[in-house]
Amino acid sequence: MVANDDTAQGLHDALTNLIPWDGPVAPRAHLHTDAPALDLSGTWRFQLVDSPHDAPAGFTDPQFDDSDFVDLVVPSSWQMVDPAGNAPFGRPAYLNINYPIPVPASDEDIVVPNENPTGCYRHTFEVGQDFTSAERVLLRFEGVDSFARVWLNGIELGWTKGSRLTSEFDVTSQLRPGRNVLAVAVSQWSDGTFLEDQDMWRMSGIFREVTLLARPYGGIDDLFVHASWDGDAKLLIDGPEGATVTIPELELTTTCNTEVTIPAAQPWTAETLRLYDATVSTDTETVAVRIGFRTVAVDGDVITVNGEKIIFRGVNRHEWHPRTGRTLDEKTMRTDLELMKRHGVNAIRTSHYPPNARFLDLCDEYDVWVLLECDLETHGFEWGGWDGSPTGDRRWYDCLLNRIQRTVERDKNHPAIIGWSMGNESHCGEGIRLMNDWVKERDPSRFTHYEGDYAHAIVDVWTVMYPSMEWVEAVRDRTVMPGAGPAPQTGRERELPFFMCEFAHAMGNGPGELSAYEERCFDPHFHRDRMHGGFVWEWIDHGIDTGRGYAYGGDFGEVLHDSNFVCDGLVMPDRTPSPGLLEFAATMGAVRIEVDSEQLRDGTGITVTNRRDFSDLSDLEFTWQLVDDGEYVQAGVLAVGALAAHHTWTGTVPLPDEISDPMVVVVEAKLTADTLWASAGHVVARTSALLVPEPLPQPCLPASSQPRRDSSGWSLGPARFDRRGRLVTWGTASLVAAVLDLFRAPIDNDRASALARNNIGDAALAAGLDRLVHTTTSVHEDSGDLVVVTRSAAAAARNSMTTTWRWRAVQTDDGREGIHLDLHTDPHGHWPTMLGRIGVTIGLPAQWTTVSWFGLGPTENYPDSQHAAIWGRWDCDVADLQTPYVMPQENGLRQGIHELTIGGSSGGMRITADGSWPAFAIRPWTSQALMNAAHTWELEPDGHTWLTLDAISAPLGSTSCGPMPIMSHRLYAQPVDLSLTLSLV
């Protein structure tokens, strides 16, 4: 069936006419009003057709028989209906930079494919007199991706684009008392698609709320709240002349358009929750607004709020839910904010579009800084050198202005929003300047942002993405880093505040090096300087729940896709905090506790730094504990008190005269009272230090246990070695012999990105680190030791590692039989490749699944991501040691191992380290299997428990979209020693 020609032709024209909308009323704030409103969310009738031309004829007619249509819940994206199953409406597609449709050349008209999936929606609703007696009735769409044409009772209202922006149609003359039929045709592609090339799942439909709003005669259509703070609170609300403004808590009554000073009011900041409930009333309507008094300023090269410099401990947030896509309910939004606040996040960049309006109410309420970004990205034009990019092509300027106007007008009353961002990765042309000019005119009270303003000629701040440490240092020190890009062009950037709008790409296992960024860009040592921190990329992994694990790009048969680059968040798709988020909290959190065990006896070993910008620490209690290998010893409270912002406290804890076993001091800062985002007792900051004991006495050697050779190999204590000197039996358990291990299943940060100068993972594979051949070159007895020399090298390679394994039978100090290993390994030949680790891996019985260790834990930790880990005694099962990154990869390392016991019903092994403390990973599969699995559900236990002990482990970095790890962090081949005692359990 084909719609009548006029309708079909009209749809097609409007799709690509470079006109942002036709029909909607002027943009305005979303106000919380007592005027009647009808939420039209629910079950609608729906049919998906291949193109707008195929819309069923007459489907907009109220009398149309829609029995061929099916039910669809609105709001939703139609591709999120059973995407991993029957996918009745097609599947989502993930793309980063590439456009999902062909891109017109700059000398061509804009076209979109004729194959343009179009959802035909019908919804019947009833209204009563409260609507029909209103002066006006508006029909509000909060988000339709990407083009909607709307009819009410068969009469066309117009059409709109701008997927994450509100459109309101005036339906006063089309609305009828009683039954009304709304029809909407939503097309997947339009010229708007070229402005919406964000790195995300591409999906379509009415994915945010639809509401009918009665507008009373003499009502309040719009308000602009100006609530500032300069030591006194000042309030001016632009609104209907004569409307009454009241703030009961401040006993204030005034009128719109009158500025008042309110001495009793307290300021709002992202640290000091101070919102005032106000009402604005006319005779016919009352609107509730929440007011926060604050003044944002760019003071030279410093951003201040209420006169204080602020630091962004921020994240970039896309809207995502693994089952509903970009349709989020309030519970999910609250979960995001609660998790952020619990982990020290104080700022959100709404990458790269305005979020659901409700989320911003919650940002005011939960206290975070918001950098609100317009729905704009044209990244795919970069492939053509940005030729024809809309921000430099006047044909598009109306669309750009329409987008920024709708962004600012909707959200202008939120205290949390302190900056407006023009968009992301859209090159920079006159269009950006026009947008910025409009914003500065309409709302000079906030700073403007656009990372792509590389000439630093337009917006108020200088921001970059994924800088190297050297680069950040150059900005901080105002030196020029040779070869640094983007190159300074005007010099104006040297006078602007600086922050990283994206850094620390949280893809897979990582990001590492957060503390290195923190030192350079967030440290209050630079308090009056222009360094303002940054926003980690990004908040959540956009995995799609398939019922057995999470899908990513390419799992839905896309012709083009960018694989798992869409899973790069600090929380897993189900919002489980990743180890990266814990590291964020430990390094970026505004409350810093440091323990220097050497200084504890001098009374100054504990330092608490209040890195908040406004508030003191009176909301926290600081407690200490001394713990002796898991046993509680002593605890107390530190008198930190109401330590003011930017101040430091030092003190200590009482220590026993003698420390014989590994003893740990743990200091924690806990909330003393419930907050909106956590209960009393929530740990805001925690750190630990190991009070190093005297070295343990060397285990003694029973005379009876010399290496004994027989026809099949060697016996030594509870161990047997084969003729090649490989450890193959432990007690009664068969082992897969221990070998040297240099390999880790590449993490996302080992894989190539355009920004990385190297591809660590590919280089490791090319060097054959995953397929080393281990050759025994000698086995002999030497003074009661079994000495085995092996050479490990890959096929075709000439470089190798020579390892000497010196085994000796021992009895441990608690009387257990065991063997001691002194291992030394040396590289030979040229080793240009970065290594994943230098350690050993051994296959233990699969039944050994119980693990206990003294070292850093309980969470996984790596050399450049270990601030969240605490020294102590930790117990768990092998399954709990795995971190299920969406794309399987190296995970689960724990460092600083003094003692590790692994066992089960059929025996076990206790390993103590002397001298330097190794790291361990224990898995039911090999690193090679981890590498080969593309999804978590492809990993199967292989009949062994694989134990890897690293003498040195590689860092994580964030090279998946960022610089290489700091040179001194990189792991290259080098001589290494490992000294372990293995004893029977």
Identify the CA nearest to 25 among candidates 171, 219, 216: 171
- Alpha-carbon span 540 to 886, nearest angstrom: 11
Neighbouring C-beta atoms of residue 900, cutoff 10 Å: 24
Buried b / exposed e over 480-510, threshold 16 CB at 10 Å, is eeeebeeeeeeeebeebbbbbbbbbbbbbbb
**Residues 456/530, Cβ–Cβ less than 8 Å:** no
Shortest distance, CB of residue 893 to ligand GAL, whole angstroms?
Answer: 24
Which residue of 204, 405, 424, 981 would you call a contact of ligand GAL, by CB under 6 A?
Answer: 424
Shortest distance, CB of residue 262 to ligand GAL, whole angstroms?
Answer: 41
Which residue of 237, 408, 416, 465 would you call a contact of ligand GAL, by CB under 6 A?
Answer: 465
Which residue of 537, 624, 848, 854 would you call a contact of ligand GAL, by CB under 6 A?
Answer: 537
Binders of ligand GAL among residues 954 to 983 (CB under 6 A) are 961
Distant-in-sequence, close-in-space partners of 157: CB < 8 Å, separation ≥ 6: 23, 139, 150, 151, 169, 170, 171, 174
Per CB under 6 A, 567 contacts ligand GAL: no
Shortest distance, CB of residue 424 to ligand GAL, whole angstroms?
Answer: 5
Identify the CA nearest to 22 among candidates 13, 14, 12: 14
Mask 254-273, x = binds ligand GAL (CB under 6 A)? --------------------
How many Cα atoms sit within 13 Å of 671 on the Cβ side?
Answer: 16
Q: DSSP per residue over 272-289, as a string? A: S---EEEEEE-SS-EEEE
- Alpha-carbon span 590 to 150, nearest angstrom: 49
Tokens of 134: 């209103």
Is 502 assigned a catalytic role?
A: yes
Per CB under 6 A, 541 contacts ligand GAL: no
Shortest distance, CB of residue 197 to ligand GAL, whole angstroms?
Answer: 10
Mask 686-715, x = binds ligand GAL (CB under 6 A)? ------------------------------
Shortest distance, CB of residue 813 to ligand GAL, whole angstroms?
Answer: 52
Per CB under 6 A, 821 contacts ligand GAL: no
SS3 state of residue 565: helix
Binders of ligand GAL among residues 324 to 363 (CB under 6 A) are 351-352
**Residue from 409, 425, 513, 890 carrying the catalytic annotation:** 425
The CA dihedral of 959, 963, 969, 975, to the nearest 10 degrees, is 70
Distant-in-sequence, close-in-space partners of 493: CB < 8 Å, separation ≥ 6: 456, 462
Q: Is the CB of 239 or the CB of 512 nearer to ligand GAL?
A: 512
Q: DSSP per residue over 598-636, as a string? A: GGGGGT--EEEEE--SS--STTEEEEEEEEETTEEEEEE
Side-by-side strand order, sheet with 713-716? 708-710, 713-716, 719-722, 727-730, 733-734
Q: Is the CB of 365 or the CB of 562 nearer to ligand GAL?
A: 562
Neighbouring C-beta atoms of residue 642, cutoff 10 Å: 12
Q: Is the CB of 54 or the CB of 145 nearer to ligand GAL?
A: 145
Q: Is the peptide bond before 511 cis (omega within 30 degrees of 0)?
A: yes
Distant-in-sequence, close-in-space partners of 308: CB < 8 Å, separation ≥ 6: 269, 613, 614, 645
Binding residues for ligand GAL, total number by CB under 6 A? 13
Q: Is the CB of 122 or the CB of 505 nearer to ligand GAL?
A: 505
Q: Is the CB of 33 or the CB of 316 nearer to ligand GAL?
A: 316
Tokens of 530: 């222009």
Q: Is the CB of 141 or the CB of 454 nearer to ligand GAL?
A: 454
Bridge partners (DSSP) of residue 700 are: 811
Which residue of 16, 33, 96, 166 would you call a contact of ligand GAL, by CB under 6 A?
Answer: 96
Q: Is the CB of 412 or the CB of 505 nearer to ligand GAL?
A: 505
- Alpha-carbon span 646 to 643, nearest angstrom: 9
Q: Is the peptide bond before 75 cis (omega within 30 degrees of 0)?
A: yes
Per CB under 6 A, 568 contacts ligand GAL: yes
Q: Is the CB of 505 or the CB of 910 nearer to ligand GAL?
A: 505
Shortest distance, CB of residue 345 to ligand GAL, whole angstroms?
Answer: 18
Shortest distance, CB of residue 961 to ligand GAL, whole angstroms?
Answer: 4
Shortest distance, CB of residue 889 to ligand GAL, whole angstroms?
Answer: 16
Q: Is the CB of 568 or the CB of 890 nearer to ligand GAL?
A: 568
Q: Is the CB of 213 or the CB of 570 nearer to ligand GAL?
A: 570
Shortest distance, CB of residue 546 to ligand GAL, whole angstroms?
Answer: 22
Is 513 assigned a catalytic role?
A: no
Shortest distance, CB of residue 199 to ligand GAL, whole angstroms?
Answer: 3
* Distances from the Cα of 378 to the Cα of 97, 163, 195, 388, 392, angstroms: 8, 14, 5, 10, 11
Q: Is the CB of 200 or the CB of 760 nearer to ligand GAL?
A: 200
Identify the CA nearest to 342 among candidates 649, 670, 594: 670
**Residue from 209, 319, 451, 502 carrying the catalytic annotation:** 502
Q: Which residue is nearest to ligand GAL (CB)?
A: 199
Which residue of 199, 460, 518, 555 would you call a contact of ligand GAL, by CB under 6 A?
Answer: 199
Which residue of 319, 373, 493, 502 would you call a contact of ligand GAL, by CB under 6 A?
Answer: 502
Tokens of 688: 């630990």
Shortest distance, CB of residue 563 to ligand GAL, whole angstroms?
Answer: 12
Bridge partners (DSSP) of residue 298 are: 303
Per CB under 6 A, 425 contacts ligand GAL: yes
CB-count exposure of residue 273 (10 Å: 0-12, 13-18, 19+) = middle
Phi and psi angles of residue 79, each rounded to the nearest 5 degrees, phi first: -75, -10
The CA dihedral of 883, 885, 888, 893, to the nearest 10 degrees, is -40
- Which spans of this chain sit near ligand GAL (rule: CB under 6 A)? 96, 199, 351-352, 424-425, 465, 502, 505, 537, 565, 568, 961
Q: Which residues are part of the catalytic machinery?
A: 425, 502
